[in-house]
Amino acid sequence: MNATDLDIARMQAHAEQAAQLLKSLAHPARLRVLCQLVEGEASVTELQAQAGLSMSALSQHLALMREAALVSTRREGQTIFYALADSPALGVMQALHAAYCGNRKPKRGKTKR
């Protein structure tokens, strides 16, 4: 295998990863939740109120986002807080937030894993 073949193989692997990331972002409800999280961490109750989803629908989307490592969680008593994970999705969501989410200034909330 020469250098060009390695570059092509690496590009194909990265394209697969990018496609998986975009697939996990490709739902309006998940984008609403993630856009909210660009502004800082939020509890499940806060996310539900902002996203306008039933608790079961939100739970399914949050599970998918956890599985895709898009979000991190922390627990405080019985309350679970979500934040954007430090992943390639963070930069993508910051760009989408800047382009589509109005004049609100993004800020990052920290959570412990």
Alpha carbon distances (Å) from 38 to 9, 77, 91, 100, 101: 33, 24, 10, 12, 10
Q: Evaluate if residue 112 carries a pLDDT over 80.
A: no
Reported pTM: 0.78
Interatomic CA distance for residues 29 and 8, integer angstroms: 35
Q: What pLDDT does residue 113 have?
A: 45
CA pair distance 32, 48, nearest whole angstrom: 10
Asked if residues 75 and 83 have their Cβ atoms less than 8 Å apart, the reply is: no
Q: Is 77 helix (H, G, I), strand (E, B) or coil?
A: coil
Chain segment 36-55, per-residue pLDDT in tens = 999 999 999 999 999 999 99
The 10s digit of each residue's pLDDT in 5-35 is 778 888 888 899 999 999 999 999 999 999 9
**Assigned fold of 27-100:** Arc Repressor Mutant, subunit A (1.10.10)
